[in-house]
Chains A and B, each alone.
Chain A
Amino acid sequence: MDTIYALASGQGKAGVAVLRLSGPDAHRACHALAGRLPPLRQMSLAILRDRKGDVLDQALVAIFPDKQSFTGEPVTELHLHGSPAVVSAVMREISEQGLARLALPGEFTRRALENGQLDLTEVEGLADLIQAETEAQRKQALKVMSGALGDKVNRWREALVHGMALIAASIDFADEELPAEIVAEARRIFEEVRTELSAEIDGIFAAERIRDGFLVAILGRPNAGKSTLLNALAGREAAITSDIAGTTRDVIEVRMDIAGLPVTMLDTAGLREGGDEIERIGIERALIRAADADLRIVLVDDRGLPPGLQLAEDDLVLRSKSDLEGSSDGISGKTGQGISELLDHVATRLVSAASQAGSASNDRHRFAMSGAKTALESALLELEHGEERTEFLSEHLRQAARHLDELIGKVDVEDMLDDIFRNFCLGK
């Protein structure tokens, strides 16, 4: 049984973040990080350090013995300071030391269920959890696949399937006529994927803090006050961390920090009918970009809803330019009326979204890629040992594909067989 871990508290900037580990090595992990084991079922203060001895955090830790924990297994709880950076560093340390692996969604619950620690009626709540998870995953997948990573992920999948097929062919069709360059071709493929994975992992580390974790789009007719609102938001509690200017007819992005979560605000081109070719393209882009957003703020004035926009249930619809109308329930970028409330509202929505999909999926992707890269490196090493180690090579490849399966989809034996029969004439 693996030891698993996951963030038990919500995502985002909070006072305390609770990291929970469960499984046979949970206490060993506590010892590795805190340097000692606290007494059972008692909170105690401990300094968590990484392998080099550098301090990760000063935390409250508690350990629970099996049969007396949430999952019925040995459990460790680390109550960390709630900064995403600290949480991320501790998670990375746990993964890299191989103390535990990131839990799959629902895995804690499953263990509790299997160990009889859960009343079966409590499980009813699972349905809601799964619905939320499915929705979050769908959005996450959409984000990955429509972004720049999507192309890479597709390429990795294709390359891995083909490379694995080459090796599989050399094993399962050893008594057939196969081209001599199979191994060289496979090596080239694995080296390429490994290099790309490395670059991607480096990219994640560097860009981690400025990544656009969440997209908030502001939509409305031309001159509905979108830009003014954006400037007001940027000038208040939120801090601009970077901005990329497009043309006024395109999409302007402003990155800021709301409630400890990185947010990209999109100021879109005004939505109206007609206009010239370039403006129409701008509007189209605005709608496409906004469709990916985690939250859409729709500004309306006395001209009503902008054309071409289908309101979704969770869109935030606001009356703009309340300074002109003198109304009290709208917002005004100029006077600042309603801006704090808006920010609070946005923060609440994002934090709740973060607790479902959030940056954990980024961590998940990063661990997946590192795992795959390590497996590929082992595979390349076996390749050097020659033919007699082919089955070990193949096993490392299978592990690499397994690490990536959340990103690239499950690689099935049928995928490899398809590739083999497409490329080689086999069958005596």
Chain B
Amino acid sequence: MKHGEFDVVVVGGGHAGTEAAYAAARMGVRTALVTLKFGNLGVMSCNPAIGGLGKGHLVREIDAMDGIMGRVADAAGIQFRLLNRRKGPAVQGPRAQSDRKIYRETMQAMLSATQNLEIIEGEVTDFLMQGTRLSGVMLADGSELRSTSVILTTGTFLNGIIHIGDQRQSAGRMGEKPSIPLAERLKSFDLPLGRLKTGTPPRLNGKTIAWEKLESQPGDDQPVMFSFLNRKPLVRQISCGITHTNERTHEVIRQNLARSAMYGGHIDGIGPRYCPSIEDKVVRFADKTSHQVFLEPEGLDDDTVYPNGISTSLPVDVQELYVRSMEALENVEILQPGYAIEYDFVDPRSLDLTLALRDVPGLYLAGQINGTTGYEEAAAQGMVAGLNAAARAQDREKILFSRAESYIGVMLDDLTSRGVTEPYRMFTSRAEFRLSLRADNADQRLTPKAMALGCCSEGRKAAFERKMEQLSEAKTLLNAKSWTPRELAEHGFDVSKDGNKRTAYDLLAYPGVTFEKVLPLADGAENLKTEIRVQAATDALYAQYVERQKKDAAALKRDSELEIPDGFDFEGLSGLSSELKGKLVRQKPRTLAQAGNIEGMTPAALVLLLSKLRQASVKKKVG
């Protein structure tokens, strides 16, 4: 039997697995990525797009940490759109359609060229255990890979069932076999499980679509990339088509509802409310007579089209009927039917903030298995697990991300403290520090962290430091001179006559004030590069709010750093109502901040908790 010795073994090569492996390898530890087939690395199993609102923020943050997703998505991007372009930068999210093949191939090429990373084809059938400690994985051919940590990123493989109408089959992704023995082993850990479902639409043959009849949606004139290292797309850009469902489509669906897996009572899992099936849309919003459907080409030399907006679990013949009822799809051919998939997930409250299982030392979970949905959410978790598994092998401190610093931190905190009731997806509304956590400043927020950890390439480091220098120079120029309200009035700026002097930088925070407008007030600023101008103006726009939020962020940081040790005796807190005590015992907050978020928690009760924590730590030190 061949043996391998690794520090980190990653199981699964989807978006979580690839990012996890890349992160661990960047940290300089011996990493193995085990996948069923090399060709599966970087496969996009659902829609061929990366980013969006909240999700685009995650990709930028991954990139700022020198992760892989942003650069791969840029390479494969065939249509870039910055969502919310007309709103402020804090809520703008980059999004791109991807060429599936280029995405996959770029991912495979980048991972193959990564130092410290070995890619192994095989099926992981079991964990190697030394007592209750995990010591590696066993493959189907009997070989063993030893490692101090294992990251499991196996998506929907736990009890996965695919539904098409009343037909069902056991499966992971379409066409892939589920891994049964590993699932059994995982079940033996007695983890709390829940059941979710998600769906996909039928895939269409683009050659059979009457594109000329359709409204088309082009990308942005000035495409915005994901990676801070990239400036423009690498491949030809395309447009998407838009068609609509109509009364006839809805009629077909209504008549066949009983044959839908969901409405026929075959599915118990809970689906995402933000991504309803077409059956759901027709039933729940019966008064809407039409829904938009985006026809997204899956690649430059691929005729497959992904009709976004009509995921379904109806039988194949009904899918054909309703798809063909739409404009320009009258003669369309379905290449692969839509389906719903149900799967078990592990309640993420059994994880700590590094995504390690609290009760199985050395085992990390990332991606869909934790109840999330989306490539970006999966990749961000993969990165966190990868960094931490590596840190564990190196005997370094845990690598934590806070809510005040990143969307990644928001997601980790949400997942581990609140759990999930539907597949978890990122929204910008989830981030209370939204004005500080912008896609445009992800590098300012996180690249220094990556540099400190040692997982940032020299190239990125140099580019970042150059940008920071230029930005700081820009801010110096803009703040060099300050002006009274009267002087400003002469320059055409209407500010309140409060006697306060203002700099050009201050003025950039006012609604409607552009960089060009303040140029006359800042000598030398006319020589600044566009990119630096834009960044300086954006930073100025939010400066006051960021300053204000700093206090909240500091308070949150303080409370987040006050960890509540495992096994803390909440029952022993005298003075709390039994109701509150019950909530604490059930939810087991990890930090004082999480305790504070429990409904009904009062400030005074927090002080009590804090005092008990202090007492406990004093006793520990003494004893």
Contact = CB atoms under 8 A, between A and B. Distances in A.
Q: Do A and B interact?
A: yes
Interface of A: 1-2, 104-107, 109-110, 113-114, 120, 123, 126-131, 133-134, 137, 168, 171-177, 385, 387-392, 394-395, 398, 410, 413, 416-417, 421, 425-428
B483 interface: no
A189 B6 CA distance: 59
Nearest to A108: B607
A413 B215 CA distance: 35
B580 to A, nearest CB: 8
Nearest to B612: A123
Which of B272, B276, B281, B611 has its CB near the most chain A CB atoms (within 10 A)? B611
B112 interface: no
A356 to B, nearest CB: 11
B87 A395 contact: no
Contacts of B288: 425
Nearest to A126: B608
Contacts of B309: 427-428
A425 B291 contact: yes
B545 interface: yes
**The 7 A-B residue pairs with the shortest CB-CB distance in the complex, in nearest-first order:** A127-B575, A106-B604, A104-B603, A123-B611, A425-B285, A106-B607, A428-B309
B484 interface: no
A7 to B, nearest CB: 16
A120 B615 contact: yes
B604 A105 contact: yes
B551 interface: yes
Given A127-B575, A387-B87, A425-B281, A172 B428 contact: yes
B605 interface: yes
A417 to B, nearest CB: 7
Contacts of A110: 603, 606-607, 610
Given A127-B574, A390-B91, A2 B551 contact: yes
Contacts of B605: 106, 130, 134
Contacts of A104: 603-604
A419 B83 CA distance: 22
A184 to B, nearest CB: 17
Contacts of A387: 86-87
A174 B429 contact: no
Interface in B592-617: 599, 602-608, 610-611, 614-615
B602 A174 contact: no
A416 B615 CA distance: 39
B464 to A, nearest CB: 25
Nearest to B512: A385
A133 B284 contact: no
Nearest to B577: A134
B599 A410 contact: yes
Nearest to B310: A428
Interface string B551-591: 10011000000000000000000111100000000000000
Contact of B434 (A131, A174, A391): A391
Contact of A130 (B52, B54, B602): B602
Contact of B607 (A120, A126, A172, A428): A126
A115 to B, nearest CB: 12
Given A171-B429, A385-B511, A126 B53 contact: no
B316 to A, nearest CB: 22
Contacts of B52: 175
A395 B430 CA distance: 12
Given A130-B575, A388-B87, A427-B309, 9 more contacts: A1-B555, A104-B603, A134-B577, A172-B53, A390-B88, A392-B88, A425-B291, A428-B293, A428-B294
B90 interface: yes
A395 B88 contact: no
Contacts of A105: 602-604
A126 B88 contact: no
Contacts of B143: none
B344 to A, nearest CB: 23
Interface in B297-321: 308-309
A413 B434 CA distance: 13
Contacts of A177: 291-292
Contacts of B511: 385, 388-389
A385 B551 CA distance: 27
A130 B608 contact: yes
Given A120-B611, A389-B511, A395-B434, A137 B281 contact: no
Contacts of A106: 602-608
A395 B545 contact: yes
B113 interface: no
A105 B54 CA distance: 36
A1 B551 CA distance: 6
Nearest to A421: B273
B292 A428 contact: yes
30 contacts: A1-B555, A105-B602, A106-B606, A107-B603, A113-B607, A120-B611, A120-B615, A120-B618, A123-B608, A126-B604, A126-B608, A126-B611, A130-B575, A133-B602, A133-B604, A134-B576, A134-B577, A171-B428, A172-B429, A389-B88, A390-B87, A392-B435, A392-B545, A394-B434, A413-B429, A416-B429, A421-B273, A421-B274, A425-B281, A428-B308
B115 interface: no
Contacts of A416: 429
A391 B435 contact: yes
B427 interface: yes
Contacts of A131: 575
A398 B548 CA distance: 14
A395 B575 contact: no
A173 B608 CA distance: 42
Nearest to A103: B603
Contact of A171 (B87, B284, B308, B603): B87
Nearest to B545: A395
A126 B599 CA distance: 21
B427 A395 contact: no
Given A1-B554, A421-B274, A413 B427 contact: yes
B53 to A, nearest CB: 5
A176 B576 CA distance: 46
A400 to B, nearest CB: 14
Nearest to A418: B273
A128 B575 contact: yes
Contacts of B604: 104-106, 109, 126, 129-130, 133
Nearest to B554: A1
A428 B606 CA distance: 43
Nearest to B288: A425
Contacts of A128: 575
Nearest to A2: B551
B114 interface: no
B611 A113 contact: yes
A391 B512 CA distance: 15
A120 B610 contact: no
B84 interface: yes
A385 B510 CA distance: 10
Interface string B231-272: 000000000000000000000000000000000000000001
Contacts of B88: 388-392
B439 to A, nearest CB: 12
A138 to B, nearest CB: 9
Contacts of B473: none
Contacts of B87: 171, 174, 387-388, 390-391
B551 A417 contact: no
B91 A427 contact: no
Interface string B417-453: 0000000000111101011000000000000000000
A130 B576 contact: yes
Nearest to B311: A427
A171 B291 CA distance: 20
B608 A172 contact: no
A127 B608 contact: yes
Interface string B120-163: 00000000000000000000000000000000000000000000
A49 B512 CA distance: 40
B214 interface: no
Contacts of B429: 168, 171-172, 394, 413, 416-417
